[in-house]
Chain A
């Protein structure tokens, strides 16, 4: 018990070092520490609880099976959120492609459309997503965030939910710093407009 408590107090870098020594309890502590932030980010991106749980698990499996590739000059939390975000964006793209093939409108897909939100791309609007998500992510602010295009959504969630700096977000999303600033700026203003309209 005291050993588990000790692990809970260790910084991420020490936990990673222990994981590299083959200590399973260090792996478990990393999962315990990041399951909520990772799941929250993915859930808010894909807005489907079951898919979000699968993707969150996939994130951890990917990260922990490649733990020897982790480079300590980055924050572990940034690394894991980066992988979580990439998996969420890929899932949204796949969903987009599925919807297009169902609609038979594959040729009409432009880059802008691919960037469009999961709600818009689900075609049927929010009804297409699970009921639980509607209950959990149903507040005005959640809905406004959901209506942002995925990259704006990633940026705004990382900035204001995870409290990341612009530089970290740029590194995390592999985007130039200026682009991140523009995305967050636009996202804030889109949010503001949407919330105004909801009022």
Chain B
């Protein structure tokens, strides 16, 4: 049993609705002491007055003002999903049809890929063959070009090196072209500085 009035801290405990052994003792005192009861009641009244303070509103909704200065970042996976969804038709029947069509295409692609995988040896062989033919055709074209440029000289070039000579000629042409262009640029700049 308390033989004194409640201390400010003890009023706080009661205001905050704390419970426990110590608090029971405080409540025991309150039952017998009208002075402390009155003090607590008064503190409860003004705490309630604070709790009932109205919520204040800004003069106009803030969303537009704020969003004008907020960067909304859409991650790539969301953008991709949205893009895919944008292709979906609105009507349910059409959606189902699109679903069936997509499943069909996916199924056919899977089968085609599977078949391709089991026959990959053949494709590879054909690929190499095609590459060889392509290379031979390219060398042939360069050789013909060189022959056209060199004319009778071409007969003096050993047979296998004719494409090589063609490539060298092409390189020489490019080098001369670049040098001429570079010299003209330097000349133009000098003129500009001089003027």
Contacts and interface: CB of A to CB of B under 8 A. Distances in A.
Answer whether A and B are interacting partners: yes
Interface of A: 19-24, 27-28, 31-32, 35-37, 39-40, 43-44, 49, 52-53, 56-57, 60-61, 64-65, 68, 136, 141-142, 145, 156, 160-161, 163, 166, 181, 184-185, 188-189, 191-192, 195
Interface residues of B, number: 33
Contacts of A189: 8
A190 to B, nearest CB: 11
B51 A161 contact: yes
A156 B51 CA distance: 10
A36 B9 CA distance: 33
Given A24-B67, A40-B56, A195 B46 contact: yes
Interface stretch (B72-80, B99-107, B135-143, B160-168): B72-80
Interface of A is mostly: helix
Contacts of B74: 21-22
Contacts, number: 99
A142 B46 CA distance: 11
Contacts of A161: 50-51, 53
Given A43-B56, A188-B43, A57 B78 contact: no
Given A22-B75, A195-B46, 17 more contacts: A22-B78, A31-B62, A31-B67, A35-B57, A35-B58, A35-B61, A39-B56, A39-B62, A56-B58, A56-B62, A57-B62, A57-B65, A61-B70, A64-B70, A141-B46, A188-B47, A192-B42
B2 interface: no
B8 A32 contact: no
B75 A21 contact: yes
7 contacts: A22-B75, A28-B67, A35-B63, A37-B55, A61-B69, A61-B70, A68-B73
Contacts of B67: 24, 27-28, 31
Nearest to B54: A40
B19 interface: no
Contacts of B66: 31, 57, 60-61, 64
B176 interface: no
B12 interface: yes
B78 to A, nearest CB: 5
Contact of B51 (A40, A145, A160, A185): A160
